[in-house]
Amino acid sequence: MPKIEVCLSPELVHLHDLKNKIVVVVDIFRATSTMITGLANKVSSITPVAGLEACRNMKSKGYIIAGERNGQTAEGFELGNSPLSYLNNAYAGKKIAVTTTNGTLTIEKSKKDAAEVLIGAFLNLQATADYLIQQGKDVVIHCAGWKGMFNLEDSLYAGALVSVLANEFDFDCDGAIGMKALFEQNQGDLKSFLSQASHAKRLQNHNIDADIDFCLTLDKYNFVGKLEGEELVKVSLNKVV
């Protein structure tokens, strides 16, 4: 059986061997939830960029630039980090370049060694699980956390994915065992459990409660977000859609 393990913060990723594995990067509030929503709403591609300046420079190459630091849209950027901005196909056909506080850095730290990088969200949990079963490779779930620290929402997503995959994958890492148990104890009311999370509180201060609700929606979308070269694209179970 393939194995699944959980890396609870990008600061710990050097302790995991990513070679020949599929890495699922997760930043529930809000980067990876927003990327999945953009892809669902027909953007032509999303290019994650770790640095603000590098992302700003993408504008002259024809990209719409999305930039956020500490929950606020960065100066000179057209978009911030809200999934709601992409609804109703608002940026259909556009190439988006995006940089965020935690999520894009975590993608950057994953892509050098991994066989594949996927983008995880509650919004497409089951589709991602189905894809991982189909591929049959070892998996590392890479939680973006917050500025290097553990956070609840990304770790709970990791627990949810381990829970769905538990019959198909071996897992003996404590992160996977612990987060699976935590998710299973709280899956009946994820929202109230996560209202205690530091990140949810920080974002509430920015008046984006609707974003939080949206990011906790389960299985709204039925596709996988995958990094192909430098771009995130939509993948169905057998083909790019």
Ligand X SMILES: O=C(O)[C@H](CS(=O)(=O)O)OP(=O)(O)O
* Contact residues: ligand X, CB under 6 A: 27, 29-31, 68, 70-71, 81, 100-103, 144, 146, 199, 202-203
The residue among 34 and 128 lying less far from ligand X, judged by its C-beta, is 34
If we measure between CA atoms, which residue out of 189, 188, 185, 211 comes closest to residue 200? 211
Cα(first)–Cα(last) distance of the chain, in Å?
Answer: 29
What does the alpha-carbon distance between residue 226 and residue 156 come to, in Å, rounded to a whole number? Answer: 21
Please state the closest distance from residue 171 (CB atom) to ligand X, in A: 25
If we measure between CA atoms, which residue out of 148, 124, 112, 115 comes closest to residue 32? 124
Reply yes or no: is the peptide bond before residue 30 cis, omega within 30 of 0.
yes
Structure tokens at 195: 């209202």
Please state the closest distance from residue 97 (CB atom) to ligand X, in A: 15
The residue among 50 and 133 lying less far from ligand X, judged by its C-beta, is 50
Please state the closest distance from residue 230 (CB atom) to ligand X, in A: 18
Please state the closest distance from residue 9 (CB atom) to ligand X, in A: 12
If we measure between CA atoms, which residue out of 116, 152, 109, 113 comes closest to residue 132? 116
Residue ranges with strand state E in 189-230: 224-228
The residue among 81 and 85 lying less far from ligand X, judged by its C-beta, is 81
Please state the closest distance from residue 184 (CB atom) to ligand X, in A: 25
The residue among 50 and 177 lying less far from ligand X, judged by its C-beta, is 50
The residue among 145 and 159 lying less far from ligand X, judged by its C-beta, is 145
